[in-house]
Amino acid sequence: MPGEADSRRIATELAQDRNLDAVDGLGAEEVVEHVRRELASADSALPRAEIAAALVRLGDRRAGSEHPHEAVTATKEAVDLYRALAAEEPDPHREAFAAALESLAVRLAALWLHEPAIQANREARRLRRGAAIEG
Amino acid sequence: MRFSYYLNPQTPGPDDDERVIDEVFGQLELAKSMGFTDTWITDHQFTGYNVFSDPTTMAAAISQRVPGLRIGFAVAVVPLMHPVRFVTQCNLIDQLTKGNFVAGIGPGNSPDEFDGYGLDRELRHEIMQEFVQVCDLAWEPPDEGGFEFHGKHFDVEVRGRIIPAPIQRPRPHMAVATGTPERLEAAGRRGWSLLLGPQEVEFIAARLQYYRKGMDDAALSPEARARAWEHTSIVRQLYVAEEGENWLEELDDVLDTYTRKSLRANTGIDDLPKADMEKRRAEYLKRGWLHAGTADEVFERLRPFAELGISNLMCWFNFGHMQDERIRASMARFHERVMPRLREISPPEDYLSSLIEQNEGMATEASIP
């Protein structure tokens, strides 16, 4: 079973690696698990916004794979991270949060999961119109 | 099993609307000549997913152009309508079809449609619930003088009666498209027919479990149960290919068009990145909407539903801007090589009950990963 050191390494590489080579061999659920464990640790200083952006990119990459549900998993996690960030500081994260929601809507629509796709898309629209952000 | 011509034809654009509508009437005439007994018509607006948009006007036209076909709504999106007008129109259609009409209703889905009417999509179930309350009063008023209803979404005071009266008394037969256990039970309690989507038989059995419970709870009469079952329907897109035809290649544009148009109509999303669109198309082919292939292949896909005893198969031949000539050829092969074989199937006794038992507790709606 991977330890905390693995989680830190993976989360760090994820935040720094634009090509996502570091997580190539891992399932999206595993990646998300590592990210959550790292961000939950008291001494984690990794930039959450960078990790969220990397998870959106991971979703983009996995969308074309044979496991498209992984694209949903990664993008959903990114949305959750941006949601928390935007609840603390709306202005710097509003645009990225809305874009992540749009990506999630796209990923869900690809799998014919229409209702959650609609919800994500509408939330993105509300954000772009300047609606208040709830945590 | 009987066969209905399901109508939800897409249109490429304003210059094509007239042609597509004309072709639809020709296809309905052909369907009737082939032994299709019904047409079930849909209600979609703004996105090109449906060429006629207004099911009530279309139903009135069909009743005159192709008389003798039973007409059903599958479904009228009632939160976008006014209940008093709806009851009036249903009564008129019931008159025009000589009582051969089923009023199928549903809450709707498309974000674009709710935005177009300035309505909050999140309230659609709540609006529909009130809509039905008003319809109940309109069809069965407490006295001859009229009725009043004062609700959150509708506030009406009708003095007099809704004219014309329907031929089916006290109201046209009703059907509903729904998936949650509570709403399935409610449909069963009222003796409404159930309009089922692309689910496989196990999924349908899971829904019928709640539906039948509602009927049992209401101690519905055998006649009322039979009537509800008579119009309980499934819908499938069908393409019966010629032997040796590479239908996947031949229908490439049709499948692409349908994948895109259904996206906009059902989600409000305009387009997807290439990989996601390819995935959507692959999922569409994998799921249960489309049954395409040779007559034998299409028959095998439909056989489980005939064995289940589904009364009404709504056949969706016209989709994805398919050419009229190709639609007619597919219909002809269906008529010659598939319909007779499906008609011969007698549902095995107690098959439905045993299937319901086997699938007890199964989810009635798709889960979200």
Query: ipTM score here?
Result: 0.90
pLDDT for position B198? 83
- In order, the DSSP letters of B45-84 are -SSSS-SS--HHHHHHHHHHHSTT-EEEES-EEGGGS-HH
- For residues A76 and B351, which has the higher predicted lDDT (pLDDT)? A76
For residues B353, B105, B177, B2, the Cα torsion angle rounded to the nearest 10 degrees is: 60
Return the pLDDT at B366: 56
Asked if A64 lies within 8 A of B269 by C-beta distance, the reply is: no
pLDDT by residue (tens digit) across A89-124? 999 999 999 999 999 999 999 999 999 999 999 999
Residue contacts between A and B (CB atoms, under 8 Å): 61
Residue A7 has pLDDT above 80, yes or no: yes
pLDDT band at A135 (very low <50, low <70, confident <90, very high): low
d(CA B228, CA B231) in angstroms, rounded, equals: 6
Name the strand (E) or helix (H) holding A29: helix A28-40
Report residue A2's pLDDT band, with 50, 70 and 90 as the boundaries.
low
pTM, to two decimals: 0.93
Instruction: Report the alpha-carbon angle B301-B302-B303, nearest 5.
Output: 100
Residue B103 tokens, joined? 């009023």
Q: Given A64, A72, A114, which is nearest B267 (Cβ)? A: A114
Q: Could you tell me which residues come within 8 angstroms of residue B353 by beta carbon, excluding any fewer than 6 positions away? A: none
The partner residues of B143 in beta bridges, in order of sequence, read B146
Q: What is the pLDDT of residue B246?
A: 98
Q: Which of A114, A119, A123 to mutate to test the interface with B (most CBs of B within 10 A)?
A: A114
Contact A73 B280 (CB under 8 A): no
Q: Are B107 and B128 in contact (CB under 8 A)?
A: yes
So what's the pLDDT on residue B365?
A: 67
Kindly list the averaged pLDDT for each block of 10 residues, start to end, along chain B of length 369: 98 98 98 98 97 98 98 98 98 98 97 96 97 97 93 97 97 95 96 92 90 96 96 97 97 97 96 94 91 98 94 97 98 98 91 83 60
Residues of A with CB under 8 A from a CB of B: 60, 63-64, 68-69, 72-73, 105-107, 109-118, 121-122
> Average pLDDT, stretch A13-20?
82
Q: Can you state the angle between helices A48-63 and A68-88, rounded to 10 degrees? A: 160
Q: Hey, CA dihedral for B37, B43, B47, B52, is it positive or negative?
A: positive
Tell me whether B85 touches chain A (CB under 8 Å). no
Name the residue among B289, B368, B186 with its Cα closest to residue A117. B368
Separation of alpha carbons B128 and B125, rounded Å: 5
Of the candidates A73, A110, A118, which has its C-beta nearest B280's C-beta? Answer: A110
Nearest CA in chain A to B274: A64
> Of A72, A76, A106, A107, which to mutate for an interface test with B (greatest number of B Cβ within 10 Å)?
A106
> Which residues, 6 or more positions from A79, have their beta carbon under 8 angstroms from its beta carbon?
A97, A100, A101, A104, A120
Q: CB burial class (10 A; 0-12, 13-18, 19+) of residue A69?
A: middle
Does the CB of B366 have a partner CB in chain A at under 8 Å? yes
- Terminal alpha carbon distance of chain A: 32
Give the model's pLDDT for residue B368: 41
Q: CA-CA distance, B47 to A37, in Å (whole number)?
A: 45
Secondary structure (DSSP) of B190-259: HT-EEEE-S--HHHHHHHHHHHHHHHHHTT--HHHHHHHHHT-EEEEEEEEPPTT--HHHHTHHHHHHHH
Q: Residue B368 and residue A116: Cβ atoms within 8 Å? A: yes
- Cβ–Cβ < 8 Å for B104, B128: no
Asked if B280 lies within 8 A of A111 by C-beta distance, the reply is: yes
Nearest CA in chain B to A115: B267
